[in-house]
């Protein structure tokens, strides 16, 4: 099977590595608008060949590993994929906006997916082994997808040892907000709180595991994450209001010196890891 990857950064490059590791493609071709990414992806053997749009479309399967806005803008270019019965999968971080933007001609070929994995790094050099193995892959709104396309996608993800979860795109965007988008917002806020202090270097000199763990994802791409925040604005706002209520609750308990209630509050949070 010939597989095309659009976007050769962390997600696309790591997917190329995984496909090669598990021998899931006879040929892996790459498509990226950035010439430096093209060159680097070839040097790192993330793909076998860089191709133009015409050669990309004739792939058996195309995976879109680019930001959501870029996916939506790119979809009309893929309409001719229907001539080749090409399966199209996107790895966008939000799903409802993409699903609503799929051209009618592509709906039977299209698999909206979101791998729940990643790092704060980006670009072809960020590609790593094992990014997808044993991770969760969310598949959304498959009612319109043809059986051959569903089976192609599911077979590849299962052979990568991924855990498959099926839900509608609206539910996905709510859940992804709590598990990914809100934590990123909190991490950016924590980093800015320190950087706005009169002596950030003195604070950072004391940084240990807790601060480093919570602030690590604040190194993520501002361009990509500002887009994600915009695309999932309503869900992120709602989760931030709920988070503010929790901050207000601990603030009030501290003001009241209610340490017994604080301990109960903390113990309740400990139970999260019973279900993780």
Q: What pairing do the DSSP bridges indicate for beta strands 110-116 and 136-140?
A: antiparallel
Please choose, from the candidates 143, 122, 118, the residue with its C-alpha nearest in 3D space to the C-alpha of residue 131.
118
Asked whether 140 and 168 are in contact (CB, 8 A), the reply is: yes
Residue 275 has pLDDT above 80, yes or no: no
Asked whether 227 and 69 are in contact (CB, 8 A), the reply is: yes
pLDDT at 194: 83
Domains, the chain, ranges and CATH?
Answer: 2-167 (3.40.50.720), 172-274 (1.10.3660.10)
pLDDT at 106: 96
29-63 per-position pLDDT tens digit:
999 999 999 999 999 999 999 999 999 999 999 99
To 10 degrees, the CA torsion angle through 226, 72, 46, 84?
Answer: 170
Residue 134 has pLDDT above 90, yes or no: yes
pLDDT at 220: 83
Of 71 and 120, which is predicted with more confidence?
A: 71
Quickly state the pLDDT bin for 80 (edges 50, 70, 90).
very high
Burial 4-36 (b: 16+ CB within 10 A, else e): bbbbbbbbbbbbbbbbbeeebbeebbbbbeeee
Global pTM reads 0.86
Q: What pairing do the DSSP bridges indicate for beta strands 49-50 and 27-31?
A: parallel
Measured distance CA(114)–CA(134) in Å, rounded: 14
pLDDT at 213: 77
196-236 per-position pLDDT tens digit:
876 766 666 665 567 777 778 888 888 888 989 999 999 99
pLDDT at 3: 98
Strands (E), 60-152: 61-64, 87-90, 110-116, 136-140
Rounded mean pLDDT, 231-249: 95
């Amino acid at each position: 099977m010939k597989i095309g990857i659009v976007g050769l950064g962390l997600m696309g490059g790591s997917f190329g590595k995984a496909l090669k590791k598990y021998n899931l493609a006879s040929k892996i071709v790459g498509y990226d608008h950035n010439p430096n990414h093209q060159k680097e992806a070839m040097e790192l053997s993330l793909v076998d060949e860089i191709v133009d749009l015409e050669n990309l479309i004739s792939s058996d399967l195309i995976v879109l590993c680019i930001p959501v806005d870029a996916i939506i803008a790119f979809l009309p270019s893929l309409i001719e994929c229907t001539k080749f019965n090409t399966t199209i999968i996107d790895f966008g971080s939000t799903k409802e906006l993409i699903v609503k933007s799929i051209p009618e001609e592509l709906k039977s070929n299209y698999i909206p997916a979101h791998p729940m994995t990643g790092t704060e790094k980006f670009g072809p050099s960020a590609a790593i082994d094992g990014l997808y193995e044993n991770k969760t892959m969310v598949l959304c709104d498959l009612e319109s997808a043809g059986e051959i396309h569903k089976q192609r996608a599911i077979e590849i993800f299962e052979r990568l040892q991924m855990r498959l979860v099926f839900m509608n795109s609206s539910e996905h965007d709510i859940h992804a907000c709590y598990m990914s988008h809100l934590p990123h917002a909190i991490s950016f806020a924590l980093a800015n709180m320190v950087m706005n202090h009169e002596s950030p270097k003195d604070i950072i000199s004391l940084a240990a595991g807790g601060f480093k763990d919570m602030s690590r994802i604040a190194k993520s791409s501002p361009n990509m994450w500002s887009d994600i925040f915009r695309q999932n604005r309503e869900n992120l706002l709602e989760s931030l209001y709920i988070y503010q209520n929790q901050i207000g609750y601990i603030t009030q308990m501290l003001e009241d010196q209610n340490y017994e209630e604080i301990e109960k509050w903390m113990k309740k949070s400990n139970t999260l890891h019973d279900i993780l």
